[in-house]
Amino acid sequence: MYLDHGNGTYTCGNNVTNALNSLEENENGELVLLKDMVIGGPVNITKDITINLNGHKLTTPVTGTQNVTVKGANVTIKNGKLDLIANQGHIVVDSSEKASTLTIASDVTVNATYYATSAIQIANASNTTVVNINGTWTVKHEIVACSNGLDEKLTVNLNANVKATDLQSDYLVAVDAGTSTVNVLGGTYTSNKSVFMVKNGTLNVKGGDLTANGGHAIVVEKPGQNLTTTLNISAGNITTKTDGKYALYFGSGTGEETGTYSITGGTFTSGKKDKKQLPALYIASQTFLANHANMISGGSFTGAIVGDVQTDAATDTWTRSAAATAILVGNATTTTENGVVTVNPSKAENDKKPAAKPEEQAPNTYDAGLVYMGLALSAIGASVVSVRKLRNN
């Protein structure tokens, strides 16, 4: 099954399934693969361990049930290839009994091409659950499914390069799990449909390139009853190359709830319609503007920030683009150059930034000059005194 090297390292050159299932309580360490291996049955990992693929490939076969379940453990997979191609051949995280962490390292290439299941599934996150997704991914379904009612303590950190040219789900990641949080820290995310959706939970975009080739880049949907939506965008390039689609799409009913939306940075580019550039944002809700004024304090928007917004369907009343933009940016200022609208934080926003500590402030050059001159004169005076003493001697 595996060879114990006595230093916390175990090598496996035969049956990886049995090796992972038979680790003893005190055998937390690193399991190193010696060749390409196929998982032959369900795997349950309940001990902290690093699976070092060692440049090899670990595969779930096309048929059968070969889930790798992380249950109450800290597991890292690194240095090689991971093929999740079986019907039930995905990674499951279960924190029903205690906290779990799953990390896919940056030197892992993942091929998750089964069309009907996500690569990583969350069975239960009633205890703290962290999923760190790095590396290079090819997928046909969601990277991770954040849509379980028990995902209230789930945090997903994304810093990967993900590509889907035949995506069978609607999004690469759908945040639809109560108080779960997805942080996009960097990387690239390219989808033949939409990239991200947030409905119930929090989506923080702090960097990365998001490109939709068949849908909206980010979709915001109305949350369920007694739930809320939070969207914070501070950086990143958010683009759709699809005609008639938007970089940021707020669907019907959004804005009617107590959701929180904030854009402080990033670049936003929508597709075109009739060869004309669409605004970066689309807002469908009638009450959105009233509930979410001042939500934009930074960022760059190709064409326009937002188009006309219908504010009363009964009377067919609309708030036109310029007025809607003014509501969304509040006291911030905008500048337009080469068809790109840039939002600059207001003076009040800049004033909110903490002042530098006294020791961090730049010295007053006038005062510094006087000090320097005083020291120089003192040195000259001392030299004169020394010369006089020598002459008197």
Summarised one tens digit per residue, pLDDT across range 75-119 is 999 999 999 876 666 899 999 999 999 999 999 999 998 777 889
For the CA atoms of 109, 111, 112, 115, the dihedral, rounded to the nearest 10 degrees, stands at 150
Using DSSP, state whether 207 is helix, strand or coil. Answer: strand
How much is the average pLDDT of 229-244?
97
Residue 295 has pLDDT above 80, yes or no: yes
CA dist 203 to 83, 206, 208, 215, Å? 28, 10, 13, 18
Give the pLDDT of residue 311: 86
Mean pLDDT (the chain) is 83
For residues 341 and 292, give the distance between their C-alpha atoms in angstroms, rounded to a whole number: 20
**Model-level pTM?**
0.85
pLDDT for residue 5? 55
Residue 220's alpha-carbon distances to 79, 111, 231, 261, in angstroms, are 36, 28, 8, 10
Check pLDDT > 70 for residue 348: no
pLDDT at 222: 85
What CA–CA distance (Å, rounded) separates 329 from 387? Answer: 71
Kindly state the average pLDDT of the residues 191-200. 95
Q: Give pLDDT, residue 12.
A: 66
| Residue spans per domain, the chain | 3-360
Task: Give yes or no for residue 2 having a pLDDT over 70.
Answer: no
Is residue 294 predicted with pLDDT exceeding 50? yes
**279: which 2 tokens?**
């605004």
